Amino acid sequence: MKLLKKGAFKIIALLLLISTPYSCYEDEEDLNIIAGLDFTVATLNAEGNETGVIPVTSPPDGRMLFTIDFGNSNDDSDVFQTSGPMVIYNYPLETATYTITVTASLPGRDSVTITKEHTVIYITEPEPTPDSPIAGTWKFAPEAGAFGVGPGLNDVSWFSSSVDDITTRACLFDDEYVFGEDGTFQNVLGNDTWLEGWQGTTPDACGTPVFPHDGSASATYNYNAAMGTLTIDGTGAFMGLAKVINGAELSAPGEAPTSITYQAELSADGNTLDLDIQVAGDGWWSFKFQKNAVAPPPQPSALDGVWKMAPEPGAFFVGPGFNSSEWFSSSADDVTTRA
């Protein structure tokens, strides 16, 4: 590729004119070609700044001379001369619109010039975002005290969940809180979750999730480890208990806010997340979550199994007081007669 110095082109064209003979037929064909000058612009790299100009009217024998000005400078550094098939130029790594000018020249013919605007859209690969330390799936910790409320921060003296709640509120302990690497958040509640009176359920019980706290929210999250906060954005998205919001507890589903912020503390191993949030007055709710938590299987009852009357005298009796058999007591014969 040859750099064209402005002002030198006419001399080159004149020399070509003097030294190159053409027949009448060739003159007519060349006239049609040069008069129909056109070119295409191609983007040649992923970054979007390497551009190729391809004259589509170029004769295969290279008789036509093209001058391409890429319109990016006031000097000749972006002006090139070629007979085809392509001229390549690298624009700055930025988005901008340039006017590309192509001039076609043939000996004995007037030069023809056309221009086209070309917008360079500089495409950059997004910087990889650091892995969110809370990305993943969380559930209530399957243990006593997984959630509670009291008159101060870290005080759950008003109420604290029990070991039995893991079973009696299993539909709550299996709810999932899913934090995506891309900043998205979703409540995954399944077919049922724990419902309360403010959601139209009396008494409190497992039931079909109630809108907007049904996992349908298009939600995002922001975890700020330095500030110790976790913000969930999206009407109906929540952590732990749907009724608990900043400064209050909901009295109806339609009161759901667009955003909730919790005080957050992540354990050193990244597997336990403690959240606190102040409601009305001095009331504070505390929630404890585990990543990929699995609820322990129910413990067997001491009464599990099949039972029968003991095959012995006194297997059953009755009397005028506790543990008294004065009125009647079964005998050894009863084991057979009352088999």
CA–CA separation, 253 vs 263, rounded Å?
23
Contact 328, 317 (CB under 8 A): yes
CA distances to 55, 70, 214 from 12, in Å:
20, 21, 77
Residue bearing the bigger pLDDT, 298 or 208: 208
Name the least confident of 43-47, 129-133, 241-245, 305-309. 129-133
3-class state of residue 336 by DSSP: helix
- Each domain of the chain, given as residue ranges in start order, spans 2-120, 136-291, 308-339
pTM assigned to the model: 0.53
The second-level CATH assignment, the architecture, of 136-291 is Beta Barrel (2.40)
Q: Which residue has the tokens 């009295």?
A: 251
Contact 157, 151 (CB under 8 A): yes
CA–CA separation, 32 vs 129, rounded Å?
56
CA–CA separation, 198 vs 115, rounded Å?
69
Give, as one character, the DSSP assignment of residue 48.
S
pLDDT in tens, 318-333: 999 999 999 999 999 9
Name the least confident of 6-10, 44-48, 208-212, 324-328. 6-10
Average pLDDT over residues 104-127: 81
Averaged pLDDT score across all residues of the chain = 86
Peptide bond before residue 203 is cis, with ω within 30 degrees of 0: yes
Q: Which residue has the tokens 């922001």?
A: 222
Residue 126 pLDDT = 56
Torsion of CA 171, 259, 266, 288, to 10 degrees: -30
Q: Percent of the chain having pLDDT more than 90?
A: 61
Give, as one character, the DSSP assignment of residue 323.
T
Domain 2-120 part of CATH 2.60.40.10: yes
Residue bearing the bigger pLDDT, 127 or 224: 224
